[in-house]
Amino acid sequence: MFNYFINISISHRGIPFRIRYGRGFWSYDTAERTVFTWIQVWQELVVSVTIGAAACFAIVGGLMNDRVGRKPTILLASVVFSGGALLLGCALNREMLLIGRIILGIGIGLSSTTVPMYIAECAPSHIRGRFVTLNNVFICGGQLVAGVVDGAFSYDKINGWRYMLGLASVPAIIQFIGFIFMPESPRYLVSKNKDEEARAVLEIMRGTSNVQMELAEIRKTIDEDKKGVTDGTPVLCRMLTTPHVRKALIVGCGLQLFQQISGINTVMYYSATIIKMSGVKDESSAIWLAALTAGANFVFTLLGLYLVEKIGRKPLTLISLTGKCVCVCVVVVVVVEIYLCL
């Protein structure tokens, strides 16, 4: 849901429905007689504020997971997200766009910490990793769908952007309706001493009444976590003082860190702009080419899912990092040449 919107908000980023004059952007809506006046700072602010809000509310989402549960948090995120998308679709000025983007960031932050946790806690242990990986695959698939939607509406120079932004509420509404009928996470129920409810949920999810061993394992891990809290030793401190756990934590966090600071987000967020800077004159063509970028991301995510069991995690990671370095260098060279020619 939230990745679908992120891709919509960045791939359209004003190319098909704004006319550029110098460093400002103007769009004229003949139906509503509304003129949007943009400056470079506002453009970047509207693009980036969602990610900032998401980062802040990811922390809030973690707290809500423990206080009210996974299901209510996801339901709330769906409501917030759909409201923000509808506000953007009806925006009359840049302030409304900015507020809508902040609201969307709140929904994204709440979802980003809760959905993977819910999947991991509800999936059977022998396919848990596969389910979490499939979540990432569908994230890339959502980006591809969003790119295609952007391309389809890019020919409408007046209201196309409204459809791009407003339609992001559709997956949020679907998620909200679907989660009304979903159970709470068994782990959360056990953490609140609702063992019988957790047993009933596990029996439905596993299709068998033989869930006593799994329920006991959940209870054991929760008791161990609570024991660490009552001993006055924070979980993070225990992780950092346990050698093998500390090593795994550094490697895992390091991979996430370098993945983000390598510049992949800039390339994906500004793919349509970069393509247009490279010489593509037609704005709709630039958006379709950006959708092609998202498509390549999706295809190679599927390929990675297949190869991870064939060649292993480490070789696949090294190959991916090498390819990323080459591609980022190519993008830098192209951009520098463009500016030198200006």
User: Could you report the per-residue pLDDT of 139-174, keeping only the tens digit for each?
Assistant: 888 888 888 988 899 888 888 888 988 988 999 999
What is the pTM for the complete model shown?
0.80
* Closest among 289, 246, 229, 259 to 66, alpha carbons compared: 229
Tokens representing 246 are 């500390």
pLDDT tens-digit profile, the chain (342 residues): 545 544 554 444 443 344 333 333 333 333 333 444 556 778 778 888 988 999 899 999 989 998 999 999 999 999 999 999 999 999 988 889 899 999 999 999 999 889 999 998 998 877 887 787 788 888 888 888 888 988 899 888 888 888 988 988 999 999 999 999 999 999 999 999 999 999 999 999 988 888 899 999 999 888 877 776 656 667 778 788 888 889 988 988 888 888 778 777 777 777 887 888 778 888 888 889 888 988 988 998 888 888 887 888 889 888 888 888 888 888 788 778 877 776
- The chain-wide mean pLDDT, for the chain, equals 81
User: Could you report the per-residue pLDDT of 261-299, keeping only the tens digit for each?
Assistant: 877 777 777 788 788 877 888 888 888 988 898 898 899
Long-range contact set of residues 175-179: C-beta below 8 Å, sequence gap at least 24? 175/1, 175/74, 175/78, 176/75, 176/78, 176/79, 176/82, 179/71, 179/74, 179/75, 179/78
